[in-house]
């Protein structure tokens, strides 16, 4: 069995924010490759950038390098281990298109290729679990975006840290963590949230899969509303599952209406559903959902 989830995510972010990246030429287009658990850090930081920056950022979990990646485009490759055939392919293909390649890793082949080809290399400490690496990757990626001229993302992260530490202290070992742990213990969890909280459902699924060795599924609203709601309300076998629905206020009146409608409708069908409200600003609420996942799974591992 893997080690328990980390309690120190905010401290890991804080520590990594001290690693300042030298200023780069301002970015206009960024292709962000994120492999393995690094996708959680990539989605956490990029959700803020999507909403607040004019720089185009495309997050990709694939081997393909888009045709628009040409000289002047920035390519970021994130992989904690730094190993994997797809990483070699992406680096080789991207290096033929642009000389603006940035690598975030702890070592492996990615570190070696970055050093040999003069890429911008940012190292995450070695010897961490995937969960521990996330905090460091979040901070380093925020620093890199800041260095690429995307201002505000690093400051937003620094501003959020005190509230995140307070939230962590309040939720670890709490009644809320216990209620969620008991609710998913003997059922198959299905985690839903909106797109800006994509990192949240990925973290929950990853911890349940990797640490507990159990099945878990996830999805995003409003896609859920269109494609899955019928099966939830009509399939008699769905009692084996428990829906964990993350809810937050958005800037879209329509999306808020969809979320509220779904969370009101499903309990009427006697489904197993747990609704969790995530508060705070955009940068903060996604990390709150990650911390809550860590607290819940840690409690389950302690039982």
- Burial string for 21-48 (b: 16+ CB within 10 Å, else e) reads beebeebebbbbbbbbbbbbbbbbbbbb
Asked whether the CA dihedral 80, 209, 262, 264 is positive or negative, the reply is negative
DSSP helix/strand/coil, 74: strand
For 208-233, what is each residue's pLDDT tens digit?
999 999 999 998 877 665 567 777 77
Of 164, 189, 209, which one is at a domain's C-terminal end? 164
Same domain, yes or no, for 160 and 176?
A: no
Residue 181, both tokens: 């742990």
Same domain, yes or no, for 195 and 123?
A: no
Same domain, yes or no, for 23 and 147?
A: yes
Same domain, yes or no, for 105 and 237?
A: no
Pairing assessment for the beta strands 188-194 and 241-247 based on DSSP bridges: parallel
Same domain, yes or no, for 107 and 177?
A: no
Would residue 4 count as lying in a domain? no
Average the pLDDT over each of 23-32, 78-87, 214-223, 290-299 and give the range with the smallest value. 214-223
Same domain, yes or no, for 23 and 48?
A: yes
Would residue 2 count as lying in a domain? no
Interaxial angle between packed helices 198-210 and 130-147, expressed in degrees from 0 to 180 and rounded to the nearest 10: 150
Q: Comparing C-alpha atoms, which of 191, 193, 185 is closest to residue 206?
A: 191
Total tally of structural domains belonging to the chain: 2
For 109-138, what is each residue's pLDDT tens digit?
999 999 999 999 999 999 999 889 999 999
Same domain, yes or no, for 145 and 72?
A: yes
Average pLDDT of the residues of the chain = 91
Of 164, 195, 211, which one is at a domain's C-terminal end? 164
Q: What is the CATH number of the domain that holds 81?
A: 3.40.50.10490
Same domain, yes or no, for 189 and 254?
A: yes
DSSP helix/strand/coil, 218: strand
Same domain, yes or no, for 108 and 223?
A: no
- Biggest CA–CA distance in the chain, Å, is 60
Answering whether pTM is above 0.75, one says: yes
Q: What are phi and psi of 104, to 5 degrees?
A: -115, 115
CB contact at 8 A, 160 and 45: no
Q: Which domain holds residue 252?
A: 172-302
Same domain, yes or no, for 204 and 136?
A: no
Of 164, 181, 216, which one is at a domain's C-terminal end? 164
Same domain, yes or no, for 50 and 180?
A: no
Q: Tell whether the model's pLDDT for residue 83 goes beyond 80.
A: yes
Residue 204's pLDDT band (boundaries 50, 70, 90)? Answer: very high
Same domain, yes or no, for 124 and 46?
A: yes
């Amino acid at each position: 069995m893997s080690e328990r989830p980390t309690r120190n995510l905010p401290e890991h972010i804080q520590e990594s924010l001290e690693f300042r990246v030298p200023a780069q030429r301002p970015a206009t287009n960024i292709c962000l490759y994120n492999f393995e658990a690094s996708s959680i850090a990539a989605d956490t930081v990029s959700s803020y950038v999507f909403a607040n920056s004019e720089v185009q950022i495309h997050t990709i979990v694939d081997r393909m390098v888009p045709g628009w990646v040409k000289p002047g485009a920035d390519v970021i490759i994130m992989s904690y281990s730094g190993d994997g055939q797809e990483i070699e392919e992406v680096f080789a293909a991207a290096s033929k298109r642009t000389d603006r390649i940035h690598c975030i890793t702890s070592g492996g082949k990615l570190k070696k290729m970055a050093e040999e080809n003069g890429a911008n290399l940012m190292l995450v400490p070695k010897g961490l679990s995937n969960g521990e690496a996330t905090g460091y990757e979040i901070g380093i990626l925020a620093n890199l975006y800041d260095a690429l001229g995307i201002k505000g993302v690093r400051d937003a992260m620094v501003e959020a840290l005190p509230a995140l530490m307070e939230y962590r202290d309040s939720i670890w070992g709490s009644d809320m963590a216990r209620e969620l742990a008991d609710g998913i213990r003997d059922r198959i969890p299905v985690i839903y949230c909106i797109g800006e909280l994509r990192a949240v459902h990925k973290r929950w699924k990853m911890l349940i899969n990797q640490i507990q060795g159990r099945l878990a599924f996830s999805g995003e609203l409003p896609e859920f509303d269109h494609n899955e709601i019928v099966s939830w309300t009509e399939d008699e076998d769905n009692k084996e599952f428990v829906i964990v629905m993350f809810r937050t206020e958005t800037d879209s009146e329509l999306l808020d209406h969809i979320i509220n409608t779904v969370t009101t409708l499903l309990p009427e069908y006697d489904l197993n559903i747990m609704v969790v409200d995530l508060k705070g600003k955009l940068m903060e609420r996604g990390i709150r959902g990650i911390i809550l996942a860590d607290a819940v799974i840690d409690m389950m591992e302690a039982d």
